[in-house]
Amino acid sequence: MSPMNNCETCPVHNKANLIKLGLNMEQVDFVVAMAGNPNTGKSTVFNNLTGLRQHTGNWPGKTVSRAEGGYVYNEKRYKVVDLPGTYSLLSTSTDEEVARNFILFGQPDVTVIVVDATRLERNLNLTLQILEITDRAVLCLNLMDEAQRNNIEIDERTLSKELGIPVIPSAARRKQGMNELLNAIEEVATGKFVCRPHRIKSRSSKINHAIAEIAAKLEAQFPGLPNTNWVALRLLEGDNSIIEAVRSGELGHINASESGKINTGVLTIDA
Cβ proximity to ligand GDP: between 21 and 140 the closer is 140
Is position 22 an interface residue for another protein (rule: CB under 8 A)? no
Of residues 172 through 231, those in contact with another protein by CB under 8 A are 173, 198, 200-204, 206-207, 210, 213-214, 217-218, 220-221
Please tell me the distance from the alpha carbon of residue 85 to that of residue 104, in angstroms, as a whole number.
16
Cβ proximity to ligand GDP: between 175 and 217 the closer is 175
Instruction: Give how far the C-alpha of residue 66 lies from the chain's centroid of Cα atoms, to the nearest Å.
Output: 15
Cβ proximity to Mg ion: between 66 and 77 the closer is 66
198 binds, among ligand GDP, Mg ion, another protein, none (CB under 5 to 8 A by kind): another protein
Cβ proximity to ligand GDP: between 43 and 179 the closer is 43
- Which residues lie below 8 Å from residue 58, measured CB to CB, with a gap of 6+? 39
- Write b or e for each residue in 77-92: b if 16 or more Cβ atoms lie within 10 A of its Cβ, otherwise e: bbbbbbbbbbbebeee
25 binds, among ligand GDP, another protein, Mg ion, none (CB under 5 to 8 A by kind): none
Q: How far is CA 99 from CA 20, 168, 193, in A?
A: 24, 22, 24
**Nearest by Cα to 146 from 125, 115, 167:** 115
Query: Could you tell me the smallest distance in angstroms from the CB atom of residue 170 to Mg ion?
Result: 15
Cβ proximity to another protein: between 31 and 86 the closer is 86
Query: Could you tell me the smallest distance in angstroms from the CB atom of residue 187 to ligand GDP?
Result: 22
Count interface residues toward another protein (CB under 8 A).
Answer: 68
State the DSSP string of 43-98: HHHHHHHH-------SSTT---S-EEEEEEETTEEEEEEEPPP-S-SSS--HHHHH
Please tell me the distance from the alpha carbon of residue 108 to that of residue 47, in angstroms, as a whole number.
19
Q: In the complex, which residues of this chain contact ligand GDP (CB under 6 A)? A: 36, 38-44, 56-58, 63, 85, 142-143, 145-146, 171-173
Please tell me the distance from the alpha carbon of residue 185 to that of residue 187, in angstroms, as a whole number.
5
119 binds, among another protein, Mg ion, ligand GDP, none (CB under 5 to 8 A by kind): another protein
Cβ proximity to another protein: between 72 and 90 the closer is 90
Query: Could you tell me the smallest distance in angstroms from the CB atom of residue 116 to ligand GDP?
Result: 9
